[in-house]
Amino acid sequence: MTLRIGILVSGRGSNLESILISVRRGLIKEAAVSVVISNRPEARALRIAKRHGVEAVAIDDRGTPTEEHASMVAEALMEHGVRPGEGLVLLAGYMKILPRSFVDLYEGRIMNIHPSLLPAFPGMDAQWQALAYGAKVAGCTVHFVASEVDAGPIIIQKAVEVREDDDEDSLASRILRQEHRIYPQAVALFAEGRLRIQGRRVLVSR
Ligand code: GAR
């Protein structure tokens, strides 16, 4: 059965695009991106979705309480066949914290990408945090979403060196290149039924 994927975005959409390309090239098998939803109507990611022929929906969150907004998002996902217990929800630069009700609804079926080696540097501006701390190694993490921010079981991580002449932009773009590799890999593993969550650990079967 085809895995139906819904992708939540807020901005640029480069991770979204890497996943759309991976589906099209057959690197992610037995899966289809059914809908892309943005909490920002002006997000470039919506234009990327349309360009790839994927339904793009804006659900503006300005002036709407978090719980209410999240249930509108869940409704739109379900309308497009991304059902709890069946579908997969991907956060790709979604700059909004999902309430527990949403996380419980799609339990074990929501993934996020974060530009640090979690549990280091959760939250906003992770690349800046790594530089400001003086870290020698930075990176990115794909993880399942739990209701605590940036804290769910880790699926794949990739380390990236921090260079002495790095600024936030150069480090962020080196990390981003790896994000574009590991997010599709994690989604492919999920689509192939090869991920199992055991407590805090994610086991990958061969
Ligand atoms: C990416 O670097 C992603 O890891 C980060 O936002 C960027 C979105 O870029 N996400 C977070 O910081 C989540 N806490 P994109 O819209 O081009 O994919």
Q: Distance, CA 42 to ligand 1 centroid (Å)?
A: 16
Q: Which residue intervals of the chain are DSSP H helices? A: 14-24, 44-51, 66-79, 100-105, 126-133, 168-191
Structure tokens at 78: 């379900």
- pLDDT digit string (tens) for 66-79? 999 999 999 999 99
> Do 144 and 202 form a contact (C-beta atoms < 8 A)?
yes
CATH of domain 3-204: 3.40.50.170
Average pLDDT over residues 177-199: 98
pLDDT confidence bin for 87, thresholds 50/70/90: very high
Average pLDDT over residues 92-99: 96
Cα 155 to Cα 37, 128, 147, 170, 201, distances in angstroms? 23, 23, 17, 25, 8
- pLDDT digit string (tens) for 35-47? 999 999 999 999 9
Q: Distance, CA 82 to ligand 1 centroid (Å)?
A: 22
- pLDDT digit string (tens) for 113-172? 999 999 999 999 999 999 999 999 999 999 999 988 899 999 999 999 999 999 999 999
Contacts of residue 55, defined as CB under 8 A and 6 or more positions apart, other chains included, come to: 34, 35, 36, 49, 80
What's the pTM?
A: 0.98
**3-state DSSP of 119-144:** CCCCCCCHHHHHHHHCCCEEEEEEEE
pLDDT confidence bin for 85, thresholds 50/70/90: very high
Best probe residue, ligand 1, of 176, 178, 183 (max atoms within 8 Å of C-beta):
176
Query: What average pLDDT is seen over the chain?
Result: 97
**In one letter, which amino acid is 91?**
L
Pocket of ligand 1 (CB under 6 A): 11-15, 45, 92-93, 113-115, 126, 176, 179
